[in-house]
Amino acid sequence: MSLFKTRKSDAAVTPLDGIDVVLADLDGVVYTGANAIDYAVDSLNKAAAEGVRVGYITNNASRTDVQVAEHLSSFGLKVVPHDVVTSPQAAVKLLAGLVEPGSLILVVGGVGLTSEVEKAGFTVTRQAADEPAAVIQGFAPDVAWKDLAQASFALHRGIPWVATNTDWTIPVEGGIAPGNGTLVSAVHTAVGTLPVVGGKPEKAIFEAAVARFGAEVPLFIGDRLDTDIIGANRAGIRSAHVLTGIDGAKQLLAADTDSRPTFILDDLRGLFEPYPPTELSHDNTVATVGKSVVRLRGTSVEVVKSGDSQVDVIRAGSALIWASGQPIYGLNVAPELYS
């Protein structure tokens, strides 16, 4: 359930008020491709300078925490490997609860995964004929059919199967490409079972981050509703959805109960700005955020006043639609809300 508040009595506080740890997703939040996102680096460094611990969560299983830290440091962020929580780390923790210490594990993936498997004291194989105790699977650009076939052969013995994540897509320099979820699906088709999953949107990676940083009141920042925000909600963590990545206004307006964020931000400067309360009329037909007013009349969602902030229009429209209880496909939504 969303932690988003929608009553006039809410005081205008910043998203960072009361927060002791910020947990940030990477692609779409900190950078896009080779470029840092505007205001992201300065904002995260400012949070750290003001005494908020900053950590990073990534579903990317192809890189080690050392490689991720070096990449983030190249943008000017102050990051060490311990600040980075990866889906392979979360997956290996799950693996450790399923097999004996030191077991032989069939790994489908690259160095980001094999390094964590080995650090945990397991032995790596790539061959089903070695009779591994379990299969662990993560994305790497060079994963091939033969790797998926070996996993399938091994899993037909009924051994445990752990996946780092099940993201259907992955953003790369050339565009959007198939992610680990598509590769997991291929193996699932062959074996008829499903893996346990370490990464977002499952709770394991969030719980690992909370434990590592000793967080009492964390805030997670993401750009995807289906992995970032739903995962934070499952873990009981406040979330900020930033409009610099995959999901924009259209997806927010249509968000179901499980994938609604606590905060909606234009960019990471919003972490430090007073977050305007949402005022809902008694009958939930008018929502006001700042100077923006959105109204529900019958099945039509209309912008009454745009105000001076497009993000306030999105906040008001989202709150109104969410409070209405009506599915988005049954509403006629004004284009000004999402275009």
328: DSSP letter: G
pLDDT at 2 over 70: no
User: Tokens representing 38?
Assistant: 């505007």
More confident residue, 12 or 70: 70
Work out the average pLDDT over 246-270: 97
User: Which whole number is the average pLDDT over 284-307?
Assistant: 97
- Residue 21, Cβ neighbours under 10 Å: how many? 21
> Encoding tokens for residue 22?
């910020």
No. of H helices and E strands in the chain? Answer: 10, 20
Q: Is 228 a catalytic residue?
A: no
Q: What integer pLDDT is reported at residue 286 of this predicted model?
A: 98
- Helix (H, G, I), strand (E, B), or coil: what is residue 310? helix
Whole-angstrom Cα distance, residue 145 to residue 167? 18
Burial environment of residue 325 by CB neighbours within 10 A (0 to 12, 13 to 18, 19 or more): exposed
Q: Which of 17, 20, 27, 167 is catalytic?
A: 27
What is the per-residue burial (b if ≥16 Cβ within 10 Å, else e) of 102-115?
ebebbbbbbebbbb
Provide mean pLDDT across the span 297-315.
96
Query: Among residues 253, 226, 249, 225, which one has the least CA distance to residue 326?
Result: 253
Overall pTM > 0.75? yes
Q: What pLDDT, on the 0 to 100 scale, is given for residue 11? A: 55
For residue 168, the tally of other CB atoms under 10 A from its CB is 14
Set 10, 17, 20, 25: catalytic member: 25
List CB contacts of 185: < 8 A, sequence separation 6 or more. none
Residue 274 has pLDDT above 50, yes or no: yes
- Which region among 85-89, 165-169, 232-236, 248-252 has the lowest average model confidence (pLDDT)? 165-169
The string of pLDDT tens digits covering residues 38-75 is 999 999 999 999 999 999 999 999 999 999 999 999 99
Q: Where are the beta strands (DSSP E) in the chain?
A: 21-24, 31-32, 35-36, 53-58, 84-86, 104-108, 123-125, 134-137, 161-163, 169-172, 175-178, 196-197, 218-222, 238-242, 263-265, 278-280, 286-289, 292-297, 300-305, 332-333
Q: Is 27 a catalytic residue?
A: yes
- Residue 114 is encoded by which pair of tokens? 């094999």
How many C-alpha atoms does 283 have within 13 Å on its Cβ side?
5
Tens of pLDDT, residues 194-207:
999 999 999 999 99
Q: Given a cut of 80, is residue 1 above it in pLDDT?
A: no
Whether 50 and 278 have beta carbons less than 8 Å apart is answered as no
Q: CA torsion sign, 2 to 83 to 25 to 203?
A: negative
**Neighbouring C-beta atoms of residue 48, cutoff 10 Å:** 16
Torsion of CA 114, 213, 43, 76, to 10 degrees: -50
Average pLDDT over residues 11-28: 93
pLDDT of 26 higher than 70: yes
Residue listed under structure tokens 């440091």: 73
